[in-house]
Amino acid sequence: MTMIVEARGLSKSYGKVPALRPCSLSIPAGRIVGVIGPNGAGKSTLINAMLGLINYDGDLKVLGHEPLTDRAALMREVSFIADVATLPRWIRVRDLLDIVAGIHPRFDRAAAEARLARTSVRPAARVRELSKGMIVQVHLAIVLAIDARLLVLDEPTLGLDLINRRAFYDAILSDFFDESRSIVVTTHQVEEIEHVLTHVVMINRGEIVLDASIDALVERFTAVDVVDARAAEAQALNPVYARKSFGRTTYVFDSLPAGQVALLGEPRRVPLADLFVAIAGPQAASGEVA
């Protein structure tokens, strides 16, 4: 099986502060990977290491390339978007396309211009004159015009409203993703994209606490809402997580036979936010899951 990311003993520290503790990671190709964890957990550190933007210790390969020593070759196969607010506000859209065309060898400027022509974005407009929705269209026009094998999204829709966030992900999924391409995304709106993820990497305090496919998680973990009168029965089955609300408690069980779970109520899939707290522990909830 082809891997887009393989790491062994990967770590990064800033002075004496560990941003990413020694970890191993294996992500197969053709996946949509969500990197989830609270603020400061190490998500951006992992992304920056994958892109060769920072030094790191240990072994790391992305698309078969070592990011630090073979970054030029890696960047020919990767496209990257961070927060949409990071575009220079003074730059004109057409000049931005010039810059991308000069940087990325697989950028099809004609394709980007054709996509923008279907929007209200004017090539002569400066970024400061654009609405957030228009800036999303500029990002999409650039990304979807790059023939990349891996798309890395680090908080790509930060500050956008629900409609523009949804439009962004819909376009990415319909016009970029296929079995030969992969997407790695970190986001604070995990509930909006968890239904499209096929793989999850969870990070807490610089440690990767989970690296698994969604299929494996669905098979392993089960949630069930239990009325208070049956709480003792649920506790006897050793749940890994419990959250109380509105006269009942949501319990999460790890590898418990489906028949036993069904005795308590209707089994259902565990939301990723709940699963993160179940695995990382209640102390992880002090930061926002992202």
Burial class (CB in 10 A: 0-12, 13-18, 19+), 208: buried
3 state SS of 238: coil
Burial pattern 72-98, b for ≥16 Cβ within 10 A else e, equals eebbbbbbbbbebeebeeeebbeebbe
Measure the CA–CA gap between 156 and 194, rounded to whole angstroms: 15
3 state SS of 112: helix
Type of residue at 179: E
Q: Could you read off the pLDDT tens digit of each residue along the chain, which spans 290 residues?
A: 678 899 999 999 998 899 999 999 888 888 999 999 888 889 989 999 999 999 999 999 999 999 999 998 998 899 888 765 577 889 999 999 999 999 888 999 999 999 999 999 999 999 999 988 888 889 889 988 999 899 998 887 777 778 878 888 888 888 888 778 899 998 767 887 888 899 999 999 999 999 999 999 999 999 999 988 888 999 999 999 998 877 789 999 999 998 898 989 899 999 898 898 888 875 554 444 44
Measure the CA–CA gap between 82 and 53, rounded to whole angstroms: 13
Residue 286 tokens, joined: 């002090």
Please give the pLDDT value at position 2: 78
Q: What is the pTM of this model?
A: 0.85
Please give the pLDDT value at position 290: 42
Q: Are 178 and 13 in contact (CB under 8 A)?
A: no
Q: Are 65 and 6 in contact (CB under 8 A)?
A: no
3 state SS of 53: coil
Contacts of 255 (CB under 8 A, 6+ apart): 220
